[in-house]
Structure formats: C-alpha cells, structure tokens
C-alpha cells in the first residue's frame, strides 16, 4: 500500500478494503438463493419492518431510486414481492413480501447471519462494540 501522510485518507482506504473483504465473504450467502445483494437487502428490510412505500425502502437501504426501480421490477417478476398503489398517496407504491419472498428470506437469513458473525469474529465482542460507536460518529456528515 502506498504511504499516506494523511491519517484520514489511510483510514478511508483501510475501511474500503475491509468492507470489500467482508462484503465478498457475506455475499456468498446470496448465490444459492439467486439473489443480488440489493435483492437480499430488500427482502431483509421488508421482513424486518413490513410493507412500506418504495421511497421509505430506498431510504432504509441507502439505495438510488433508479437502481431500486429495476430491482423491484425484477423481484416482482420472480414473485418475491408485490407492488401496489398506496391507499393514502396515489403517487406512491407500497412494496410487500409475498409468501415466496418470505420463504426465501427465511431460508437465506441463517447462512447470511452466520457469515456476518464469522467475518466479524476477527474482533472481540468489545472491539465490535467499539467499532459500532466509532462508525456512528459518521452518521451526521
């Protein structure tokens, strides 16, 4: 790695490399279920929070609306989610898990969680808590 005089730049490089490594390890859990990382995220959020407007889903996942439109259409074609006009706001659509989508996330989640835990096992539980607190400092940038 090139020498960085600026600790902020070095921190960013190390953080990106760590994220890429963790993401590669964890993303192996999506393949057997024919899901992309974004599709898995949609299923995970809807499973945890229930039906929501597309805009809320985009905010929950930190995704772009253009990308999410394609993801939602593809997931709808696969029968994993439904998209219906919002009863309170005709301009918005509500997205919900189908029974098939619920079955897929229920099947995929245990392996995903195991891979996340395995990836983070390089840190002690105390170090994981410290990491959480450190990363929270970026919340309001």
**Residue-level pLDDT at 41:** 92
Question: DSSP letters of 8-26?
Answer: HHHHHHHHHHHHHHHHHHH
Which of left, alpha, beta for 6 (phi over 0: left; psi -120 to 50: alpha)? beta
Q: Among 56-60, 108-112, 113-117, which is the least confidently predicted range? A: 56-60
**Residue-level pLDDT at 80:** 98
- What domains sit in the chain, N to C, each tagged with a CATH number? 34-117 (1.10.10.10)
Q: How confident is the model at residue 83 (pLDDT cuts 50, 70, 90)?
A: very high
What is the rounded average pLDDT of the residues 58-74?
83
């Amino acid at each position: 790695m090139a020498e960085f005089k600026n600790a902020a730049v070095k921190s960013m490089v190390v953080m990106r490399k760590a994220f890429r490594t963790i993401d590669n390890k964890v993303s192996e859990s999506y393949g057997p279920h024919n899901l992309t990382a974004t599709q898995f995220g949609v299923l995970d959020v809807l499973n945890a929070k229930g039906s929501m407007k597309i805009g809320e889903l985009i905010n929950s996942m930190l995704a772009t609306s253009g990308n999410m439109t394609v993801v939602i259409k593809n997931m709808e074609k696969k029968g994993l989610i439904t998209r219906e006009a919002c009863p309170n706001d005709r301009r918005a659509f509500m997205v919900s898990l189908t029974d098939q989508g619920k079955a897929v996330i229920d099947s995929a989640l245990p392996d995903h969680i195991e891979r996340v835990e395995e990836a983070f096992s390089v840190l002690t539980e105390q170090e994981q808590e410290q990491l959480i607190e450190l990363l929270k400092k970026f919340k309001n940038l």
